[in-house]
Amino acid sequence: MSPTALVLADPRSPLGIRATLEALGAAEVLLAHHGGGKLVLGLLGHSLGALRETAAGWGADEVLLLDDARLAVFQAETYAWAAETIVKRLSSPTVVVLPGSTLGRELVGRLSARLRGGGTSEALELDLEDTGGIRVRRPLFGGKASETVSLPAPAVVSLRANAFAPPEPPRPSRVVPVLLPDPGAGSAGAHLLERLPVPVSDTPPLTQAPVVVSGGRGLHGPENWPLLEDLARALGAGLGASRAVVDAGWRPASEQVGQTGSSVSPQLYVAVGISGAIQHLVGMSSSRCIVAINTDPSAPIFKVADYGIVGDALVLLPPLTEAVRRVRAGVVP
């Protein structure tokens, strides 16, 4: 029997959609390496009319659409119940692939428990085993090492953000509506008690951003951080910081990149005024392209950088930001 891969979409934001496309690409490559199979996209949420037509062109063989008012607000238990409903619509999927987003990280444990299968997160590579299970390579110790685990089917796997390419080329697929059953013994028991406002930011979430700009002590103080924020906005980048900066109270812990902070794998990582201690390097060394700015030409960050600029960040950031804005506006010197 040919394998079936189910990808659960995260349609809640542009970054969630990008992560969904990466999951589709990962599942497509997985099936292609083993002679093909069925690729299914599960689309969960409420008022998905416009997205329904878009998702039908993302490259799945079939889209299972579950549009229900109970999914209007994301609650992990409710979404896990809805995801289980979609899984049961298929006949024994080999793997359920979750995007490298908050939704994926929230659902991987809950859904694998409901399916009584194996589950893991932060996958860097996927492969099918002759036994019918899934072999997954995932990072350890902030990316300094990795491990390979074998999971029985149905395996539930969430991906590392920016680790996979979207499917090429996309193709149209048919959309099949799915109904969420009435509440019962298997339904979620969570109830929304209060909705708290989420702080609004004009930069994307750090761990999902395709571009990350991080600052260190080379910025000399929190009063100079707006220079880094301007560059991040010009690039559409997430904002990060070194541990020294966070420990000094310049920036919140949520922005820390490194062994004791967040691990990131963006397409582009710009390290500004960061010397490159090993604790920081293990959190960002898997980035596709690394650009470093530092006054010290012997700083360890230059050993992992693809491009390096020796100079004062306070002097270099304003013209660099202006150059980025001009290029993105189509004004090329």
pLDDT at 185: 46
- Report how far residue 143's alpha carbon sits from residue 247's, in angstroms, rounded to the nearest whole number: 22
Q: What digits encode the pLDDT tens for the residues 180-190?
A: 887 654 455 55
Q: Is the pLDDT of residue 206 over 50?
A: yes
Q: What digits encode the pLDDT tens for the residues 293-307?
A: 999 999 999 999 999
Q: What digits encode the pLDDT tens for the residues 245-291?
A: 999 999 998 899 998 888 898 999 999 999 999 989 988 988 999 99
Q: Is the pLDDT of residue 201 over 70?
A: no
- Report how far residue 42's alpha carbon sits from residue 120's, in angstroms, rounded to the nearest whole number: 19
Question: What angle is formed at CA 206 by the lines to CA 202 and CA 208, rounded to 5 degrees?
Answer: 100
Question: CA distances (Å), 135 to each of 95, 127, 129, 151, 188, in order?
Answer: 11, 5, 6, 6, 30
Question: What angle is formed at CA 130 by the lines to CA 129 and CA 132, rounded to 5 degrees?
Answer: 70
- CB of 15 closer than 8 Å to CB of 101: yes
CA-wise closest residue to 166 among 9, 279, 281: 9
Pairing relationship of beta strands 238-241 and 268-272 according to DSSP bridges: unpaired
The pTM for the full model equals: 0.72
3-state helix, strand, coil in the chain (%, to 5): 35, 25, 45
Q: Is the pLDDT of residue 129 over 70?
A: yes
Pairing relationship of beta strands 145-151 and 155-159 according to DSSP bridges: unpaired
Residue-range domains of the chain with CATH:
4-177 (3.40.50.620), 211-328 (3.40.50.1220)
Q: What digits encode the pLDDT tens for the residues 130-176?
A: 877 889 999 887 666 789 999 988 899 999 888 898 887 777 778 88
